[in-house]
Structure 1
Amino acid sequence: MNIEMIEAAATRLKGHARVTPMLTSPFLDEIAGRRIFLKVEALQHTGSFKFRGGWSAVSSLTDNALKAGVIAFSSGNHAQGVALAAREHGTSAVIIMPADAPQMKIDNTRALGAEVVLYDRGSEDRDTIGATMSQERGLTLIKPFDEPRVIAGQGTTGLEIAAQAEDLGVNAKNVLVCCGGGGLTSGIALALEAKAPHLKTRPVEPEHFDDVTRSLASGKIERNAQTSGSICDAIITPQPGDITFPILNRLCGPGIVVPEEDCLRAMALAFARLKIVLEPGGAIALAAALFHNDQVDGEDIIAVASGGNVDADLFQSALTKYGNQS
């Protein structure tokens, strides 16, 4: 992986992916005690940054591979990104999704034309299912994070952060990134290493699913004890990737671990103060910036709001419980 791959992905994405905004709010700044700049990937196509990686991967396939179709596994955001990219390229997509994924993500993936195959993430291995179906049906497997073309696509977020931070005069030392398997985090870290080396990428994870944080502390890949049971479904993975972890280990600062309740609080604040909808995993970096910034250096903080695909009931619950906070 290198910056040339990310820049090539940016060329393929030009005119297809949105350049998402970096938003601010004086109300959020007051809570944090410093300026927060929120990179809102929830406003990307399909409601998350995953469209970048999906398009990057699908757009680089040969004509024969496109004709055969693609397959991916995902809790929902990568699913939708790959499904839309496949549809726009005139090919088919099979998406393997956990049965406990938010219903909206399952419905949206099907609505984008993909064939959805459900599995039990507590007892079945999605990697095995994906590899088997890929071989049996001649499909190209597009992994959600441990895939160079996907990482390159996600890294275009980092190119935009570097340019926007310079334009806005941001005086930050840290970029907080919602982290699952590390595709977005490693891609951003590579882009910032080349374009804004003064910015240190920091992964943010939910309690009990802090495999990246523990891996960075130990210097080796650590695995989560469980693979389900969090409202932050978008960033729940068994462990960091074999490709992503060396990048994370070389370039990232220490991880930050956030309770689920803080994600709900951040969701309510993002809606109240910025009028944007975030899912729990997509709000976790904002939660770290707001409520755990004792672990962050610098006058300003950049945080990535990675996705907004949340079921209505969970979103309403966050607003009901925390809608009156200052």
Structure 2
Amino acid sequence: MTAQTLIDTARALVAGDKGLLAMDESNATCNKRFAALGIPQTEGARRDWRELIATAPGLGDSIGGAILFDETIRQKTHAGVPFAKVLADAGIIPGIKVDTGAKPLAGHPGETVTEGLDGLRERLAEYAGMGARFAKWRGVIAIGDGLPSRACIDVNAHALARYAALCQEAGVVPIVEPEVLMDGSHSLARCAQVTEEVLREVFAQLSAQGVLLEGMLLKPNMVLPGQGSPVQDSVEAVADATVACLLRTVPAAVAGVAFLSGGQSAQLASARLAAMNTRFKSRLPWPLTFSFSRAVQQPALDAWKGDAANVAVAQQALVFRTRCNRAARRGEYDAQKDAPR
């Protein structure tokens, strides 16, 4: 696998003003969302949901890549077609989540380290054989009283870099996801400070591990006030703070920046992405796009409710949200026309 192949794949994922669809939630997370709507928490129901997503007409118009979970990449449609092939046939590059989750960080109460490096070389080879052309790993950083610790930042940045190097060795484009959580009552300025510190360390570790920046994507959080903060800054303030942070920390060589939604509402996530592109697109060295999960899927899940009779309307809700986000990437999103649905 040549470096040029990695570069070409990374560029293809964000080409055409498209974004990424994160449909890589774990079985436990998927089951929790199902339970809230009275949907059976079974393998069959999860497969039906993922088939609804993968076969949504027009999904490929706004989505360049889809991140799958281990169970999903092994599943097939009712017609017997693997989901990875269904997506590829629709012009969507299949990807795979390869971390095994955030676990408590020894000696640091309230903080986590993401695991999954053991055996990753072999798993990447298997996933590549199943059609995955990119992968994702999420590190989690909490803001709180005395948090994050330097140890938490360092260990998660190191794991992200080792994962990214293994991906590129396997010919798989790594998506590097250091998420500073929006849980808490911290200010926008505090989130900006922590996010900048995290990104600086992530790119220092990526450099130390020899990761090709042109052959990777960054999946960061937006710079946001905590959900419990008494001050909820404007869309424009969030856009300004986020772009300023990225310009200080993210090398121009990176192929693209695809934001996670992190618990934002569908409409706010779209509006904030649109504001960044409207205000700064001509000045940025990398495309700013989306890699949302709940902010794209939840309206469709609410419409589906596990009922086969609702598949078409749920697919329409899903594709509508992806089109809103493609418009946001273009700086053409109109919040007035995007009432919650």
Query: Is the structural similarity TM-score above 0.5?
Result: no
TM-score with structure 1 setting the length? 0.30
TM-score with structure 2 setting the length? 0.29
